[in-house]
Amino acid sequence: MASRMKKVLCTICMRGGSKGVSGKNLRNLHGKPLMAYTIEQALQSRLFEHVVVSTDSDEIAEMAKTYGAQAWFLRPAELATDEAPKLPVIRHAFLEAEKHYGQEFEILVDLDATSPLRSVDDINGAYDQLIAEDADMLITASPCRKNPYFNMVEKVDGRVRKVKELKPPPTRRQDAPAVYDMNASIYIWKRRALLEYNTLFTEKTSLHVMPEERSVDIDTQLDWEFVEFITGRASIK
């Protein structure tokens, strides 16, 4: 386990600003800030020697440290805007960690702080799947409620049609190809793939399927209220 831990890094990326739910990473969720759930899951997985937080906020950095994460740098301003894509942020944190700890990490696991319903088993299961399938990278998703081959439509040039057409068209949802909703919960890369590819989708991308009830990504107030209800119910049991 120890040698495995030294090769695997965890990053958790959080901005101070949030448009959908203001200050959500620091917002109290049943007695602790939202970020604490993800930090604790990372530590409990026992996969990582280091759990590193990337943020533009001193307040987030200090709070993360109290829950056991490491945060010694603030990300550059150009990586802290609303328009900044996430992959360069993750790559920056990875390289900062290699420089800080003086070692190369073979694998990076990035956990989204706005997905607190994942389990420790989800993290370990996704990691084990990446290794078993010898994948370059792995994303997580849950089964879609709607299927573009069956009951999702689009409007093009005034015509309403299914998003994806099959011939013959499926008459039951169960007969349509399985599709999945990316849940932004867990991303995993091997080092070379992280540094070389600017896409999540290659011939060696794996998909780890999680159940819908552990796949909520908090992006709106309604998402927050749903997660608040679910986590509150779990704490009562």
What tens digit of pLDDT does each residue of 121-180 get? 999 999 999 999 999 999 999 999 899 999 999 999 999 999 998 888 888 888 889 999
- Coil vs helix vs strand at 208: strand
Q: Is the dihedral of CA 189, 190, 196, 197 positive or negative?
A: negative
Q: What is the pLDDT of residues 215-225, one digit of tens each?
A: 999 999 999 99
* pLDDT beyond 80 at 20: no
What fold characterizes domain 2-142+181-232? Answer: Spore Coat Polysaccharide Biosynthesis Protein SpsA; Chain A (3.90.550)
Of 141, 81, 86, nearest to 110 by C-alpha is 86
Peptide bond into 116 cis (omega under 30): no
List pLDDT tens digits, range 87-133.
Answer: 999 999 999 999 999 999 999 999 999 999 999 999 999 999 999 99
Residue 195 corresponds to which tokens in the numbers above? 């540094």
Q: How confident is the model at residue 51 (pLDDT cuts 50, 70, 90)?
A: very high
Top pLDDT among 43 and 162 is at 43
Residue 235 pLDDT: 58
Residue ranges matching CATH 3.90.550.10 in the chain: 2-142+181-232
CA contacts within 13 A on the Cβ side of 108: 25
- State how far the Cα of 185 lies from the Cα of 171, in Å rounded to an integer: 33
pLDDT of amino acid 11? 98
Residue 226 has pLDDT above 80, yes or no: yes
pLDDT higher than 50, residue 1: no
For residue range 66-83, list pLDDT tens digits in order: 999 999 999 999 998 888
